[in-house]
Amino acid sequence: MVSYRKELWFSTSNRREFINITSEVESCLRESGIQEGLLLCNAMHITSSVFINDNESGLHQDFDLWLEKLAPEKPYSQYQHNGYEDNADAHLKRTIMGREVVVAITKGKLDFGPWEQIFYGEFDGKREKRVLVKIIGE
Note the pLDDT tens digit of each residue in 81-135.
988 789 999 999 999 999 999 999 999 999 999 999 999 999 999 999 999 999 9
Q: Which CATH superfamily hosts domain 18-137?
A: YjbQ-like (2.60.120.460)
Q: Where are the domains of the chain?
A: 18-137
- pTM for this model (two decimals): 0.95
9-24 as b/e, with b when 16 or more CB fall inside 10 Å? Answer: ebebeebbbbbebbeb
3-state class of 79 per DSSP? coil
